[in-house]
Structure 1
Amino acid sequence: MGFQQMVMRSIEEGIHQNDQRLELATFGMGCFWGPEARFGSMPGVVRTCVGFTGGTTPTPTYRQMGDHTETVHISFDPRVISYEAILREFWQNHYPNRDNYKGRQYISLVHYHTEQQRKTIENIRKEMETQLREPIETEIAPFGEFTLAEERHQKYYLKRYPKALEQLAELFPEKELLTDSTFAARLNGFVKGYGTKDSVREDIAQWRIGTVEKKWLTDLFLKLKW
């Protein structure tokens, strides 16, 4: 294992060392590439990945999705960002009542992971209905099975920058490490246009890692070639 890879692994482990405090959120809001980038850019969101939920078709894939829905699955730190804030981001950034021209693939869907989340969803939905001045048709359902989408769909926008990926390859030699990475989630959001260099730097400055690690990661971010 190279030195830089060891440093990055130490940073990610430091970020995730209190994973038991993290909470989950799962949404369907159209094609899952954009939502993963959007949520991945938000301070307090620790992990993002995309996949399929809600259907009965066994082992769904992107080409054989059956009755499943494209969803983004998020781990977040409630000490930094609230579930209410994430829900508002969800409803404010897609139209929940559009025609579902591809069956269930692109429906508006929110899965709740706890009874408290279900209550919060109902409260925020009423708030959003007042703003929209129409009923919200988002499907609300308990979280069940989540099938991870193929690797090419994870951090989709980041993977459109081969020069940056080449630089990151030493840090994330295994593809699942990139999928699980908080740093990669921020980069994926950044290249999609969610945030600026300054906002990413400010976010890293708040991460629960050492000062030396923060500087190393910030320098790495600024040196990436796109």
Structure 2
Amino acid sequence: MVNTTILNLEQDLPDTANLETATFGMGCFWSPDAQFGSLPGVIRTRTGYAGGTSAHPTYRQMGDHTETIQVEFDPVQISFEDIVREFWRSHYPNRDAYKGRQYISLIFWESEEQRRSLEKLKKEKEQQLNEPVETEIRLFDGFTEAEERHQKYYLKRYPKALEQLAELYPEDSLLTRSTFAARLNGFVKGFGSRQQLLEECNSWPIQDKHRNVLRQVLMGLKW
């Protein structure tokens, strides 16, 4: 049995004040949550709704919002430009690929530096595609977190693993905000390997006792 009182990974990872945020939509939010959650330097991910005017959007009543993912990342390890390049590399960013606003290509900026980066990288992508990029680019104006069942969706398809992780994350909100869970969600979707995750755990700025718990859980998970 894992003693959950010794594990508080969120306190050990980089100070939230030093993190940056990227919010974007690129189709159904389940796969991007797994994909970006697997990237070293990404600390937290969550799915949600953004970009519209409808109050209190939900999955069943999204209104004019778009399915989005919000990523918190450590800019020392991965840059906003790295995130954006991965965003545009991973989907076709033009409107004729989607139906309605739910699944459009959408990305927000939160600072002038991010806006300038988006302008530069958009030109790069247009040169690669040899056609205009129609991604909607706009100032960030709010994000509504999606329902619990849409957070770490692929990981939650493995109830045996969830039972074991419940010792570490007894509340759903803790699982949603967990870096370790983000990596596992990516792993079960096919992003990265167990060995890569073990090696990354070794590089995290966490206490040795916490690292040992994570390695123990990772090696013992039953899917």
The TM-score bracket by the shorter chain reads: over 0.9
Assess if the C-alpha contact under 8 Å between 2:95 and 2:135 holds in 1: no
1:151 is matched with 148
Which ranges of structure 1 fall in alignment gaps of 5 or more residues?
none
Q: 1:22-47 CA distances to partner (integer Å, 9 max, x unpaired)? A: 00000100000000100000000000
Assess if the C-alpha contact under 8 Å between 1:49 and 1:154 holds in 2: yes
What is the one-letter code of the residue matched to 2:117?
Answer: T
What is the one-letter code of the residue matched to 2:62?
Answer: M
2:11 is matched with 13
2:3 is matched with 4
What is the one-letter code of the residue matched to 1:105?
Answer: Q
- What is the aligned counterpart of 2:184 among 183, 187, 204? 187
Aligned: 1:26 with 2:55? no
* TM-score (normalizing by structure 2): 0.96
Q: Distance in 2 between matches of 1:82 and 1:35?
A: 17
Assess if the C-alpha contact under 8 Å between 1:100 and 1:106 holds in 2: no
1:205 is matched with 202
Matches within 5 A, 1:110-149: 110-149=107-146
- What is the aligned counterpart of 2:63 among 36, 61, 66? 66
The offset of 1:12, in angstroms, is 2.4
* TM-score (normalizing by structure 1): 0.95
> What SS does structure 2 have at the residue aligned with 1:122?
helix
The offset of 1:211, in angstroms, is 3.0
The offset of 1:100, in angstroms, is 5.6
Aligned: 1:106 with 2:100? no
Paired residue total: 223
**Alpha carbons of 1:39 and 1:138: their partners in 2 closer, same or farther (altered >3 Å)?**
same
Assess if the C-alpha contact under 8 Å between 2:66 and 2:104 holds in 1: yes
Considering only aligned residues, what root-mean-square deviation do their CA atoms show, in Å? Answer: 1.3
Instruction: State the identity as a percent.
Output: 59
Instruction: Show structure 1 runs of 4+ deviating over 3 A.
Output: none
Q: Distance in 1 between matches of 2:120 and 2:207?
A: 38
1:165 is matched with 162
> What SS does structure 2 have at the residue aligned with 1:24?
strand
What is the one-letter code of the residue matched to 2:10?
Answer: E
Q: Distance in 2 between matches of 1:141 and 1:159?
A: 32
Assess if the C-alpha contact under 8 Å between 1:48 and 1:180 holds in 2: yes
Q: Distance in 1 between matches of 2:128 and 2:6?
A: 46
Aligned: 1:217 with 2:214? yes
Q: 1:158-208 CA distances to partner (integer Å, 9 max, x unpaired)? A: 000000001111211111010111110000000000001111112111111
The offset of 1:152, in angstroms, is 0.1
